[in-house]
Amino acid sequence: MDESKHRKDNNLDNGGMWMVAEFLGHHKLAGFVTEEQKWGQVLMRIDIPTGVDCEGKKLKFTTQWYGTHALYCATPVNESDAIELAKQYRPRPFDKFDLHREANRNLDDYRFVEDDEFNG
């Protein structure tokens, strides 16, 4: 799949390229990056390759959006390198465990410190 085919298949009219994007907080993603207007601001849309369809003909993607202020470095790469790197940098999916942990958090974690406790 080349860049123009990915653009056409996903109705991406605003260009784009395969790249590795590094974000503040040492977070890296590899995929097809475009610029997209969303929620009143310009965001980076990253289509991250996650595999191929059951016929083995078309790449499957998960999409994430990031504000450009979070971007630390962007490195253009070719498609095959981006797909390989995406396997290493694959984002961790949201897990039911995350919900369970939050639901069972001790409410004391959120209590306000009284002035007399704070001052000693």
Kindly state the average pLDDT of the residues 34-53: 87
Whether the predicted pLDDT of 52 surpasses 90: no
Q: Are 82 and 90 in contact, with CB atoms under 8 Å apart?
A: no
Residue 45: predicted pLDDT: 92
Number of alpha carbons in the 13 Å side-chain half-sphere of residue 3: 16
* Residues above pLDDT 90, as percent of the chain: 22
More confident residue, 83 or 108: 83
Q: Which CATH number fits domain 3-93: 2.60.120, 1.25.40, 2.30.30, 3.20.20?
A: 2.30.30
Burial of 46 (0-12, 13-18, 19+ CB in 10 A): buried
Confidence class for position 78, pLDDT limits 50, 70, 90: very high
Question: Which residues, 6+ apart, have CB-to-CB distance to 21 below 8 Å?
Answer: 28, 29, 30, 31, 33, 44, 46, 66, 71, 73, 74
40: left (phi over 0), alpha (psi -120 to 50) or beta: left
Model confidence at 68: pLDDT above 50: yes
